[in-house]
Chain A
Amino acid sequence: MKGYIGEFEELVLLTIANLSKDAYGVAILNDISKRANRKLSIGALHSTLTRLEEKGYISSYLGEPTNERGGRRKRYFEITDSAKAELSNMKALRDQLWAGSKVNLSVK
């Protein structure tokens, strides 16, 4: 089933891909706010993560307990193959559109 991926969802997926092994809640949050300069609450992030998980684009697992978080485990996310396929579909579409553009899109 092909689900629709929104702009923010795409951002989260790519961030997870960027962080690879370190992709857990706070890391994703910090990365997005740094790169995209967006203010983001944990609630909003987890809502998106839950939706993505439901659509089958990411999977999650609990890590080892660490002393840092009072012994609480982190939940790590990784993107699934269907997410990879969807992302590359979107990228291919975009590349196609970029290449075919009659207007010069580069900003001077």
Chain B
Amino acid sequence: MKRSSNPPILAEKLLKWHAGKADLEDIQGDLDEVYGLTLEQSGKLKAGIKYWYQVLSLLFSYGLKKRKSKAAYSPFYHKNSTAMFKNYFKIAIRNFSKHKLFTSLNMLGLALGMSICLLALSISVAIYQSDSWQENKERIFQINTYVADQEDSRTFASTFYAMGEYLEDQYPFVEKAVTIRPGFSPEINHHGNKMKFQGYFTEQSFLDVFSFKLIKGDQKTALASPSSIVLTQEVAETLFRDEDPIGKSLETDYGVFNVTGVMENPKQTHFYFQILGSIDNHSQMTARNAANEWIDFKWNYAYVLLDEEQSEDNLEQALNQVSTHAASFNPEREIELEYINLEGVVPRWNISQALGIGWDEPSMLFFLTIGLLVLLPAVFNYTNMSIARALKRAKEIGIRKVVGAEKHQIKAQFLIETILLSVIALTGSLLILYPMKQEFLGMIIGGDMLDTNPNLAQILTFLIFSILVGLMAGLFPAQYFSKLNPIQTMKGEIKNGKNNVSGFKKGLFVFQFFLSLVFVIGIAAMARQHTYALNTNHGFQSENILSIPFERIEKQVAIHELGNHPDVKAITTASSLPGVSLNGFIDVTSNDQDTIQANVVFIGDQFIENLNMELKWGESESLQRSNQNEELVLVNEQFIEAMKVFNIQKDTLRFTLPDGTNCRIVGILKDFNYEPLNELINPLMMRYSVANSHFALLTVSSSNIKRTISELEAIWQGIDQEINFHASFLDDDIEDAYWFLRVQMKFFGVLSTLAITISCLGLLGMVTYTTENRTKEIAVRKIMGATNYSLYYLLTKDFLKLIMISALIAIPVSYIFYDKVLLYFLIRYGTGLGILEILGSVLFLFLVGLTSIYWQASKVTKANPATKLRYE
């Protein structure tokens, strides 16, 4: 029978879909035959219509229904067969134990690869759970402010100064409002030690609304009166050890405070504070006027606790009204008030001036991406190796298929195997995770606030993640295996028996080694910056200078006595160490109108000379000769540059400080890095004041520095026994200022170790596979007289080529990335990336790669060819 045309596809599909698993072969044959007959007799259209009619009659027929219900109870297939899953598990475990090397390579690779992701996930989960423990969390909302003017439009986490009080007064459904102002960073003077703490100014309602527990003190009144302060347990222990802190007074540069409470160390919260001070002190300090209350919105945060019965809609309406109210004070800006529930405060996608650490989603995403970059190669490895080893398992698949396994069953089998592997790898990964987490949380600010201990959410996230990883790794091999042709596999004709690695796998290799190389170059780059920063001349002398903090000792006496020691060549003082970060700016006014911001350093006698600083103009000798009317100061070139912008009619060398001091510049310093090299060179002003200096800087030359220091200590003790003597070399102090570089190096170190290990595991797997497949070939070559050298060459050349290609891509990419982007942010005045680092990194990678190839290749080449040939 000729078939000039096919029956309607749609009808065919409909029937198949309806029939499901029922066997339709004979019915479809009948349908086709009838179609063919009608086609010959009465044409295509009629045949089509008739076909449809037949199909529809079948859809409602008893015959098909019966076949369907029969198929559902077929003894050969059952949808939820636990026996089948059991079998999959058994086969998976047997396979693992049969191929121990490959299983352990894969497992190790996945465990290492997952570790960074797990770290990121663990921290993310902890961040998402912030404040979920607060009792009133559903009823607490943070008020945010959207501000748009001509230049910019942003949403701020902060809000107007008047907001909290206004909402509480005007709207009865607001049960309580909390106002928080950060920036309470007093230096507490306690038993002669000055310690700086960070905290918030806030009011009593803070303790009422949020569920932070006071261990000591009255939860209901602790912050009610002015000048009261609540300490966290940690701070209380540092300050008072075993004493009861309640009722003690603390002397600070913000005035005297009374300790009224000790709070449990806050955890799992978006707030970040060590102490809480009464907001009344803040109000007194700043003396704000009423008009500003509705204009300033920075550094003021408001939270409201709604009545239990109230819905968010009320708050929204109220905020709309208040927005209009606030807008009347800000005619040039568009104001819109928003609110967010306490649990949603962190992390957010895009918010300005978040309170506390301000975890945000973009940086979490970035971190996770880095984790995935490390994980992906491990997943590729698995995919690669499983497919490469198809030959070994093809027969198994063939038999399964012949016996009647369907595609999806083969797929399920492989997916289950991979998921099992990745879940086992997860346990291994958790072992690495623990120490890594400790280290990492110690490095990031606020890490100690996060509770990343395993809880249900964490464990669930990990499990789901590892299952996803298993799916990701197993999908491709499962697809591949399920498509194998059983006849070919039984005959052993599978196409994958090639000795060479296919193009796709080559691409994966290149990617892995590219990634590893980028990370390795990263460490080299950081290390270079680190040495450079320490060895370069910052613009002053830092060798052989001892720095001694001398806060409460009689400064003039100390200078005199210490300076008399024979090893001390010169002595001077400064308020902050050169080469270490400065804090705080001061406003400098030059023409009664415009101000610039400048760093201030107080220096003692001979500071410039002792530290070998270079003056461009003027002299530094006359600094001491300041009088009542004007103070003589030194500035740097940046300072002058900044001043140039203004229109100064009078003397260009004169300016005033906010406290009214008139200053005259007597010398201009050449620009140099007073701060670490990552900081911009800012306008800098040096004022003469021994009283304001915090450090004594001693230029020493001694043959036995230990003895000198102990003699200096003896002199110190002679002046005042109660104060500790602590001397360190300025070089060491400067090195400490570069801790951030060491953190980066550590981070890149971990990343590159992981990436390289994973890449090498992959390499090892592929080399093992290819050499195993070429055992016979190599044996024949050897018998024919091939030398060991030529065999190595044969086995390694392909892989070396791949590593070479990845190096060729990695070098320009990492050059651009590190030299132009990363290092610029880290170290503005650094040297960039050197050729030596790149070459060294490439060489290192080649060595590691070659070693892993050699390990496997030597196994084959050293074997006796006779046994190898007999074996097959």
A positions within 8 Å CB-CB of B: 24-26, 29, 41-44, 46-51, 54, 62, 68-70, 72-75
Contacts and interface: CB of A to CB of B under 8 A. Distances in A.
A69 B63 contact: no
A50 B69 CA distance: 13
B151 interface: no
Top 4 closest pairs, chain A to chain B, by CB: A43-B57, A46-B63, A43-B61, A75-B26
Interface stretch (B28-36, B221-229, B859-867): B28-36
Given A29-B34, A42-B34, A68-B1, A47 B29 contact: no
Contacts of B64: 43, 46
B6 to A, nearest CB: 10
Interface string B32-75: 11100100000000000000011011111111101100000000
Contacts of B61: 43-44, 46-47
A44 B29 CA distance: 16
A70 B712 CA distance: 105
A42 B54 contact: yes
A47 B30 contact: no
Contacts of B67: 50
A42 B26 contact: no
B34 A50 contact: no
Given A26-B33, A68-B33, A42 B27 contact: yes
Contacts of A73: 25-26, 29
16 contacts: A24-B30, A25-B29, A26-B34, A29-B34, A41-B57, A42-B31, A42-B54, A46-B61, A50-B62, A50-B63, A50-B67, A51-B62, A69-B29, A70-B3, A74-B29, A75-B26
Tell me if A's interface is mostly helix, strand, loop or mixed: helix
A69 to B, nearest CB: 4
A42 B25 contact: no
B60 to A, nearest CB: 7
Contacts of A72: 25-26, 28-29, 32
Interface string B795-830: 000000000000000000000000000000000000
Given A44-B61, A46-B63, A25 B30 contact: yes
Contacts of A44: 57, 61
A46 B58 contact: yes
A62 B57 CA distance: 23
A43 B60 contact: yes
A70 to B, nearest CB: 6
A21 to B, nearest CB: 16
A47 B62 contact: yes
* Residue picked from B3, B28, B57, most chain A C-beta under 10 Å: B57
Interface of B: 1, 3, 25-34, 37, 53-54, 56-64, 66-67
Contact of B63 (A49, A70, A74): A49
A24 B54 contact: no
B173 to A, nearest CB: 68
A42 B62 contact: no
B30 A43 contact: no
Given A46-B61, A50-B67, A70-B29, 14 more contacts: A24-B30, A25-B27, A41-B54, A41-B57, A42-B30, A42-B54, A42-B58, A68-B33, A72-B25, A72-B32, A73-B25, A73-B26, A74-B29, A74-B30
A73 B3 CA distance: 17
A62 B28 CA distance: 13
B58 A43 contact: yes
A103 B507 CA distance: 95
Specify the main secondary structure of chain B where it touches its partner: helix
A15 B752 CA distance: 81
A46 B26 CA distance: 11
A24 B25 CA distance: 13
A38 to B, nearest CB: 14
Contacts of A70: 3, 29, 32
A105 B58 CA distance: 40
A29 B57 CA distance: 14
Nearest to A47: B62
A42 B54 CA distance: 6
A16 to B, nearest CB: 15
A74 B33 CA distance: 10
B25 A62 contact: yes
A97 to B, nearest CB: 31
A74 B26 contact: yes
B262 to A, nearest CB: 84
Contacts of A46: 27, 58, 61, 63-64
**Which of B27, B29, B57, B67 has the most A CB atoms < 10 Å from its CB?**
B29
Contacts of A25: 26-27, 29-30, 33
B57 A24 contact: no
B12 to A, nearest CB: 11
Most chain B beta-carbon neighbours within 10 Å: one of A41, A51, A74: A41
Contacts of A75: 25-26
Contacts of B33: 25-26, 68-69
B632 to A, nearest CB: 105
A48 B858 CA distance: 74
A43 B26 contact: no
Nearest to B24: A72
Nearest to B26: A75
Contacts of B37: 26
A42 B62 CA distance: 11
Contacts of B26: 24-25, 62, 72-75
Nearest to B58: A43
Nearest to B51: A42
A16 B63 CA distance: 18
B711 to A, nearest CB: 105
Contacts of A42: 27, 30-31, 34, 54, 57-58
A35 to B, nearest CB: 17
A44 B58 CA distance: 7
A43 to B, nearest CB: 3
Contacts of B53: 41
Nearest to A46: B63
Nearest to A72: B29
A46 B28 CA distance: 12
Contacts of A54: 66
A73 B26 CA distance: 6
Nearest to B66: A50
B608 to A, nearest CB: 100
A53 B63 CA distance: 10
A69 B32 contact: yes
B66 to A, nearest CB: 5
Residue among B34, B57, B63 with max Cβ neighbours from chain A (10 Å) = B63
A29 B91 CA distance: 50
Contacts of A41: 53-54, 57-58
Contacts of B3: 70
A92 B669 CA distance: 132
A73 B53 CA distance: 22
A37 to B, nearest CB: 17
A68 B37 CA distance: 12
Contacts of A62: 25-26
Among A42, A50, A68, A75: residue with most chain B CB under 10 A: A42
A68 B2 CA distance: 8
A24 B26 CA distance: 9
Contacts of B34: 26, 29, 42
A41 B51 CA distance: 10
B29 A43 contact: no
A42 B64 CA distance: 11
A75 B29 CA distance: 9
B35 to A, nearest CB: 10
A23 to B, nearest CB: 12
